Amino acid sequence: MGAEIHDVDFAKLDPADEETRAEIRQAFHDNGVIFFRNQWLTPQQHKAAAAILGKFDKHPIVKGSEDHPEILVVTRLPNQPCTFGETWHSDNSYLDEPSLGSCLYGREIPPFGNDTLWSNMYHIYESFSPGMRKMLDSLIAVHSASRAFANDSKEKAAKYAGDGPQKYQVSEWLTRETEHPVVRTHPVTGRKALYVNSMFTLRFKDWSENDSRPLLEQLFRYIEQTPEYQVRFRWAPGSMAMWDNRCTQHFAINDNHIHKRVMARITVQGDKPF
């Protein structure tokens, strides 16, 4: 799970160098998440790096940069609580066609803490007993952004009012629900991966939330508490991570409240899970 790639400088990578781009895509598929160090990138160069994976999403709720709306600048100020990416999730699984991948670049990094964890959903699924896999294969899950982006607190209301470093906008996706298979098949590797997450999955189709909760909580705990299927990345200025949302989940560790942290994220368009 995870690989760190050296000797690639995205600021100097020739757009015509398809051999290097193909190697990066292969490493992405082989490892689920790939990491790069010492990347000193402009927003345009960040976009050129992310474009190796495909065309960009535009977040329907969180506003992107004014000059580059495809880029979400995620800023956490000193003494401000973390409210973005602080639970296990796969980016934008509430969309009909969830994000294929994400490319996160560290612009301003604290001297310690705020690492990110990724978990391998192939290995999580494959570790279940045959009976468990058979049951999960038959289920459909309902996903929604309604809880993660709810306007139900003073702090969240401020974001919708345009206050603070992160600005939200009202969207139809705040109330919509989307159905995806609990186990999805990766369109490139052909492998099966668990596809429910604690941020966006509400319940199983044709099940009540009460009936769904015990099994969902069991799955969420297993993802969280199985470190042998995880990788932990220690950020530094100029670091970048690219990950596959179809077969991984990630979690931003909120253990440093005293330093400013600025990250820039681009998500890449995906397709309907099957």
Q: Looking at the annotation, which residues are catalytic?
A: 89, 91, 250, 265
Tell me the chain's radius of gyration from C-alpha atoms: 18
Looking at the chain, which runs of residues are DSSP E strands? 3-4, 33-36, 72-76, 101-108, 116-120, 140-143, 178-181, 183-185, 192-194, 201-204, 230-233, 240-244, 248-252, 261-268
Which of 158, 161, 202, 162 is closest to 180 using CA atoms?
A: 202
170 phi/psi in degrees, rounded to 5 = -65, 135
Cβ–Cβ < 8 Å for 147, 202: yes
| Encoded tokens for 73 | 């600048």
Pairing of strands 33-36, 3-4: parallel
| Encoded tokens for 160 | 């919708």
CA–CA distance, 243 with 1 (Å, rounded to integer): 11
Identify residue 59 by its one-letter amino acid code.
H
Cβ–Cβ < 8 Å for 124, 194: yes
